[in-house]
Amino acid sequence: MRGVWLATVSNRDWPSRPGLTAAQQRTELIAHLDAAVRDRLNTVIFQVRPTADALWPSPYEPWSQYLTGTQGVAPGWDPLKTAVEEAHVRGLQLHAWFNPYRIANNTDVTKLVASHPARKHPNWVVPYGGKLYYNPGLPQVRAFVENAILDAVRKYPVDAVHFDDYFYPYPVAGQTFDDDAAYDTYGSAFPNRAAWRRANIDKLIRETATRIKTIRPGTRFGISPFGVWRNIATDPRGSDTRAGVQTYDDLCADTRKWVREGWIDYIVPQLYWNIGFAAADYAKLLPWWAEVARGTKTRLYAGEALYKAGDPAQPAAWQDPAELSRHLTLAARYPQVGGHVFFAAREVAVDPIGAMARVVADHYRQPAKPPR
């Protein structure tokens, strides 16, 4: 796996701004695919549902505002269809990346297009931390989210369905995710709210996996969680880290379980720290994940923080163009690590300090076929 994430939320990587013509958007998208080929990558993970919207004509959700600037307005072409076709022509896999529960990066429901499902079903919506989310504890929400995602799987020969790290939202100090009513209705069989929340996410993962295999058997299902499942101080099975966030506890996502149970085809933990970083050392997390994946049918790829390379706000290690190359050298010692995915496409294209060029020169001298 030699992958790159192509993020569309807030126009991070593509399109460069909302409101470009269809031809301009298409040209920019093709340029990202060509950059992947240039760097001998083989997989593009394309964000097609950034905020409960769609980058294809969906009967469930509106066109994304990141295309035209106005949610619900058709851009005049089909970005997902084009991405799949043009990726395959270039020998790239195209993984369709969906954010399951995020509705908006603000809390004003009236900013959503009038036809938006969140406006039709206000009881599905939880405002939290300055954003809007669908409530994962409602069975009707889970069914809707799955249906919206699987519409793309039915319509296009995507090579994989991909989720990122957003399940229950990251903690915000002093705020409470208000799912009291859902917990009162559906949580009585569980010892506590956290166990119920984890079960809700487990159901989303298991059901999505089953439905993908039914609709398009050759399509894989992969997830890219935050890189720390639990710290060892919290759980003896956890990693030797002191991270402020633990996915099991804070995002209610039991990512280790999904790997061990073989519910997903691949996992890409976001190992976004340098070698030697005290709270979360890449050199300690990578072998921990390799051990988790050992003996399972879930493939392990390492998520790499290309976006940190050359960022003056980051630790000194990230000012060294060779830092990421050292990650790949280290990973080669662990047979469970089947490749790497880089965040994100904008940095692949620009490569401000040559960190990606160093990876290519040191490790990607020849093309590699995508994993099957």
Residues 135-179: tens digit of each pLDDT: 999 999 999 999 999 999 999 999 999 999 999 999 999 999 999
Q: Is pLDDT at 197 greater than 90 in this prediction? A: yes
Mean pLDDT of 116-129: 98
Q: Cα(33)–Cα(43) distance, rounded to whole angstroms?
A: 9
pLDDT in tens, 66-90: 999 999 999 999 999 999 999 999 9
Matching residue, tokens 């830092």: 323
Mean pLDDT of 246-250: 98
Q: DSSP string spanning 325-350?
A: HHHHHHHTT-TTEEEEEES-HHHHHH
Using only the alpha carbons of the chain, give its radius of gyration.
20
Q: Residues 316-333: what's their mean pLDDT?
A: 98
What is the arithmetic mean of pLDDT over 344-364?
A: 98
pLDDT given at position 108: 96
In this predicted structure, what is the pLDDT of residue 372? 81
pLDDT band at 191 (very low <50, low <70, confident <90, very high): very high
Mean pLDDT of 220-234: 98
Instruction: Give 200's contacts (C-beta < 8 A, 6+ positions apart).
Output: 136, 137, 142, 252
**Confidence grade of residue 260 (pLDDT, cut at 50, 70, 90):** very high
Q: Which helix (H) or strand (E) holds 355?
A: helix 355-363
Asked if pLDDT for residue 123 goes beyond 90, the answer is yes
The pLDDT of residue 343 is: 98
For residues 92-117, average pLDDT: 97
C-alpha torsion sign, points 361, 362, 367, 369:
negative
Mean pLDDT, residues 233-250 taken together = 98
Band (211; pLDDT cuts 50, 70, 90): very high
State the fold for domain 2-101+138-363: TIM Barrel (3.20.20)
61: confidence class by pLDDT, cuts 50, 70, 90: very high
> What would the mean pLDDT of 123-141 be, rounded to a whole number?
98
Strand duo 102-104 + 131-134: pairing = antiparallel
- Provide the pLDDT for residue 356: 98
Q: Is 59 exposed, middle or buried (0-12, 13-18, 19+ CB in 10 A)?
A: exposed
Q: What pLDDT is stored for residue 175 in this prediction?
A: 96
Beta strands in the chain (DSSP E): 2-6, 43-49, 93-98, 102-104, 125-128, 131-134, 160-163, 220-223, 266-267, 299-304, 337-342
